Amino acid sequence: MGSHILLKGTREGIRCIFPEDKDIIGIEQMCDEVVRESGHILRDGTLIVDLQGRESDEGEIIAILKNLVWSSGAREVVWRSYDPHVRRILKSAGFCIENRPSYGSVGVRGLFIFKSLRSGQKVEHDSDVFILGNVNDGSEVWAGGNIWVWGKLQGLVHAGCHGGEDAHILVKVFESNQIRIGKLYSSIEKGCSYWGKPVLVYVQENTIIFKEIQ
Amino acid sequence: MVARTIVITSGKGGVGKTTTTANLAVELAKIGKKVVAIDGDIGLRNLDVVMGLENRIVYTLVDVVEGACRLNQALVRDKRIENLYMLPAAQTRTKDAVTSEQMCEICSMLSDEFDFILIDSPAGIESGFRNAATPAQEALVVTTPEVSAVRDADRIIGLLESMEKRGISLVINRLSPKMVKRGDMLDISDVVEILSINLIGIVPEDEAVITSTNRGEPLTFQAVGPAARAFSNLAKRILGEKVPFDELEHMNNKGILGHIKKLFGV
């Protein structure tokens, strides 16, 4: 992964995506570089500081404030992180944090699909996806948010596909060999205790949990 | 006369598309319908061999498209049964030799002359499949009760739906009741549940299929055996007749046990 901040224009504002890995060059230098080269874009706009899963501490957040947020002249600032520790720091400082950092475009409505997905068909959506049918073997669903399958799940589903591990998957009949949430995935053996049953899948402490629903 | 144009397809190879096309064509012709079976598998033709007409091919579908002959010159008439014709594919060319538009044109020329146009589609989802499926209003999706074949059939059904085909029906081929019983094979309800389309035919595993293919004599000429009976039922259902799905029961009543059952009227 590169040691540079990536800028991405979204409907909500300019997203400054920080690399997750600790950088070779310092955070101050990275921020200065952005302000120097792209300060004119950030001025008077909405700045989204997207730390992804970066394990920032208080010192680093102060450095971002000094070298990016205040230097850029942004009118409004929103913070985004899916690291629980970082979210706690930001919350305690009273910063504006996106409630659902993983959910792709904010304000995007859920997508309802009133039929089964057949092999080879793929659905991609930035928010929640609700399927009132089966997800057959060989089909795929990629959702920025949660995925609900009101039928049999045999294909591949990826909830929180933009990296959000607070997304969940709810399935009426679970028969899939692989599940993905955020950056985690889990392989499932046929014949496990919840095979063929209603299941809720979510992430807890960096582990995918399968909970059979009675 | 406006023909019903049906594509026989599957996605996966070797599941019995050509066998189904040949036997269905013979059965419909036996009932009195005028039928033409088109081999859509350009470069890998087989329908001629299964129908036993390989020695009588002069021109092919590609020759018609390229203007080397007239359409009726390329049609091979089956001398064993009235009303049965075959339009062979070229063996020395590839799928790109014909376009979907040209296939549509050929089918529209045949449409006034025939009751049924059956198109034997090649395996796969590329241009060969599209050429075969585009002119058809209806589709028969053939699958065997194997996970891989069912998944490919599902893919094909998705493509046929996107092409807005109205009558997509399912034929489950090579079903072995013994294997189903042992749990080694998907059963009918599993396949129908996954594919969620109208089941129109169940063809039991039958060694006679191999013999008939090698002889170039479709099973339905003889009309004996479980597979022949199944193809006969399939043809009747296509014609709108309500035929119960007793293909497997009939198979189970064969052998000594079957004779004993019959004797006692069980």
The domains of chain A are located at 6-92, 111-212
Arithmetic mean of pLDDT, B240-251: 78
Check A136 against B154: CB less than 8 A apart. Answer: yes
Q: Which residues contact B224 (CB under 8 A, 6 or more apart)?
A: none
DSSP classification of residue B220: G
Of A116, A121, A138, the CB nearest to B151: A138
| pLDDT tier, A119 (very low <50, low <70, confident <90, very high otherwise) | very high
What pLDDT was estimated at residue B248? Answer: 64
Angle between the B226-238 and B208-215 helix axes, to the nearest 10 degrees? 80
Q: Which residue from A minimizes the CA distance to B155? A: A119
| All residues at 6 or more sequence positions from B153 whose CB lies less than 8 Å from its CB, including other chains | B10, B11, B12, B141, B142, B143, B170, B195
Query: What pLDDT is stored for residue B249 in this prediction?
Result: 66
Determine how many CB atoms are found less than 10 A away from the CB of residue A131. Answer: 27
pLDDT tens-digit map of B119-143? 999 999 999 999 999 999 999 999 9
Per-domain boundaries in chain B: 4-263
pLDDT tens across B13-57, in order? 999 999 999 999 999 999 999 999 999 999 999 999 999 999 899
The dihedral sign for the CA sequence B59, B63, B64, B70: negative
How confident is the model at residue A3, as a pLDDT?
A: 66
Percent of chain A whose pLDDT exceeds 90? 49
A134 contact residues in B (CB cutoff 8 A): 194, 196
Of B150, B155, B196, which is closest to A120 when you measure between CB atoms?
B155
Give dist(CA B191, CA B186) in Å, integer.
7
Sign of CA dihedral B11, B13, B17, B18: positive
Specify the CATH class of A111-212 in words. Answer: mainly beta
- Tell me the average pLDDT of chain A: 87
Q: Is there a contact between A138 and B154 if contact means CB atoms under 8 Å apart?
A: yes
Minimum distance, in Å, between the CA of residue A129 and any CA atom of chain B:
20
Residue A109 one-letter amino acid: R
Residue type, A123: V
Q: Which of A118, A131, A136, A175 to probe by mutation at the B interface, max B CB count within 10 Å?
A: A118
What chain A residue is nearest to B147 in terms of C-alpha separation?
A137
Domain covering B4-263 in this structure, CATH number: 3.40.50.300
Q: What's CA A90's distance to the chain center, in Å?
A: 18
| Section A142-170 average pLDDT | 93
From the list A116, A134, A137, which residue is nearest B151 (CB)?
A137
pLDDT at B151: 94
User: Which H helix or E strand runs over B213?
Assistant: helix B208-215
Per-residue confidence (pLDDT) for residue A81, from 0 to 100 = 83
Q: So what's the pLDDT on residue B251?
A: 55
ipTM: 0.75
End-to-end CA distance of chain A: 43
Annotation-wise, does B17 bind a ligand?
A: yes
Which of A160-164, B76-80, B240-244 is predicted with the least confidence, judged by mean pLDDT? A160-164
**B-proximal residues of A, 133-152, CB under 8 Å:** 134, 136-138
Look at residue A103 in the predicted model and tell me its pLDDT. 43
**Residue B252 has what pLDDT?**
53
Taking alpha carbons only, the member of B31, B28, B40 closest to residue B4 is: B28
User: Which among B154, B161, B196 has CB closest to A119?
Assistant: B154
Q: What does pTM read for this prediction?
A: 0.70
Residues paired with A111 in a beta bridge: A129
* Residue B266: predicted pLDDT: 41
**Strand pairing partners for A50?**
A17, A80
Angle at A10 between CA A9 and CA A15, to 5 degrees: 60
